[in-house]
Every structure is written in C-alpha cells, then in structure tokens.
Amino acid sequence: MAAFPSHFPEDFQKFLVASAPPLVYYLPDFITEEEESILLRQVYQAPKTKWTQLSGRRLQNWGGLPHPKGMMAEKMPEWLQTYCHNISSLGAFSGKCANHVLVNEYNPGEGIMPHEDGPLYHPTVTTISLGSHALLDFYEPLVPGAAAQSQESRFVLSLLLRPRSLLILQQDMYRRLLHGIRGRHDDTLTDTVKNLVQAGGKPGASLSRGTRVSLTVRHVPKVMKNKLVLGRK
C-alpha cells in the first residue's frame, strides 16, 4: 500500500483509494449542497470575458497564468480563496497555499483529452466537482519509439467524481499517468472504477451526465513578485 504522507492528518487514511496506484484520496461530500449552489452561482456570475471557449469545454482561469518564468499572480476572489485555504490546510500542498484555480465546464458529451498537468504546478492536483458527476480516466504515457499504441490499450483505471466531492492526486497518479474525460452522455460503472465503494456506485449502473463544473485547485510555486522584473534581462 502507498506510504501515508505525514503532512495529511492521521484520520485521512480512510479517504485513500488503495486499489489505485499511489496516490489518490477521494472525499465524498467535501462541500454541502448550499456551498455547491453558491459556488455555481459565483462561477456563472463571473464576467463573460472571463470564459475561454475550447473544443469540448470552456474554462475560467483564476490566480494568474502559470508560466515557466513565473506566474504573474492575480488576486484570488474571496469565494475561491476560502477553498484554496481549506484544501491547503489539509496538507495537500506540503504546507504551501493553493494560489491557482481552473474552472472547467463540461456539457453532456464534452470532455478533456488525456494530458499531464506538467511541471508548472506543485505535483498535487485537487478537484472539487459541482453539478454533475464525471469519470476521470487514467492512461499509461506513450512509450517513445514504440509502435502505435492506441488510447484504449493504454487505459489503466477510472475514478468516479460525484458532485461535491474532493479528489486529491499526487505521486504516480499525478506525475506518471495521463488523465482525461471521455466526451460521453452516459457512463457505465464497471470494476475499472477504482473508487466505486467510496463514491457509492454500483457495478453495472449507468449514470447520465448533466453539466459539470470542476474547480481544479493547485499551487504554482514560481510566482513573479513584481511586474518590473518582466522587462529586465
């Protein structure tokens, strides 16, 4: 079993998804229904210009744009700051405070291609789901130089993310495997969903998707302190 990181509280062990590679914590009902509706209201009250439309989803970026030279930090709105603080005080970012939130909105049939979150973030991703569930799918990375490897042959496992849950990924689940969401209208639960018990799912059941909004809360270690620094050699 995965080593238990000392920065999490001891009773956190009950949230560990032990049948997945290290390290997954799944916290059902991390927020209340009331908090969920307040968060959704805040997301949809944001100015239209805050949205970026991509193929298969749209997103809002809060806290600044991560950049290899350092993120130009922008003030986090209060309605997100609370959650940055709460999640950080669980120890998710090894004592650091989250300073970046990506809001993704997926309509039924939409998703996100398998990808890595990459080196600009502290290697922990935490996600609050709102409005509807998703199946987050994980894949082995492509082996350089190997013959064509289909996406399906690289599939490893899924996690069921219920509305109001918090997901925490670290170690191999963050650094090695890719993650994505298939563009589907329904999801059938099978034994490849490794947190079925924790998420209260029944094998064989089918869940139809509504519109899901996710808050991806992360820590960007490299932050630009002063705008003037940008212009200097």
Ligand X SMILES: O=C(O)CCC(=O)C(=O)O
Q: Point out which residues bind ligand X (CB under 6 A).
A: 102, 104, 112, 117, 127, 134, 136, 179, 214, 216
Q: Residue 218 CB, nearest distance to ligand X (Å)?
A: 9
Instruction: Please tell me the distance from the alpha carbon of residue 87 to that of residue 81, in angstroms, as a whole number.
Output: 10
For 111, the token pair is 């998703």
Q: Which residues contact 218 (CB under 8 A, 6 or more apart)?
A: 93, 98, 100, 101, 102, 117, 121, 122, 124, 125, 126
Residue number with CB closer to Fe ion (117 or 187): 117
Q: Residue 104 CB, nearest distance to Fe ion (Å)?
A: 9
Q: Residue 104 CB, nearest distance to ligand X (Å)?
A: 4
Beta-carbon-side half-sphere exposure of residue 68 (alpha carbons within 13 Å): 1
Q: Residue 6 CB, nearest distance to ligand X (Å)?
A: 27
The answer to whether residues 13 and 2 touch, using CB atoms and an 8 Å cutoff, is: no
The secondary structure of residue 16, as a DSSP letter, is: B
Piece of 17-25, 47-55, 109-117, 131-139 that binds Fe ion (CB under 5 A): 109-117
Q: Which spans in the chain are helix H?
A: 33-45, 78-88, 151-154, 171-175
Q: Calculate the CA 57 to chain-centre distance.
A: 14
Q: Residue 203 CB, nearest distance to Fe ion (Å)?
A: 27
From the list Fe ion, ligand X, none, pick the one residue 133 interacts with, judged by a Cβ distance below 5 to 8 Å according to partner type. Answer: none
Residue number with CB closer to Fe ion (77 or 118): 118
- In angstroms, the Cα distances linking 202 to 44, 156, 165 are 32, 20, 17
Residue number with CB closer to ligand X (196 or 215): 215
The answer to whether residues 208 and 186 touch, using CB atoms and an 8 Å cutoff, is: yes
Q: How many CB atoms lie within 10 A of CB 35?
A: 16
From the list ligand X, Fe ion, none, pick the one residue 104 interacts with, judged by a Cβ distance below 5 to 8 Å according to partner type. Answer: ligand X
Residue number with CB closer to ligand X (43 or 102): 102
The residue with its CB nearest to Fe ion is 117
Q: Residue 214 CB, nearest distance to ligand X (Å)?
A: 3
Residue number with CB closer to ligand X (22 or 111): 111
Residue number with CB closer to ligand X (15 or 121): 121
User: 112-151: which residues touch Fe ion (CB under 5 A)?
Assistant: 117
Give the residues lining the site for Fe ion (CB under 5 A).
117
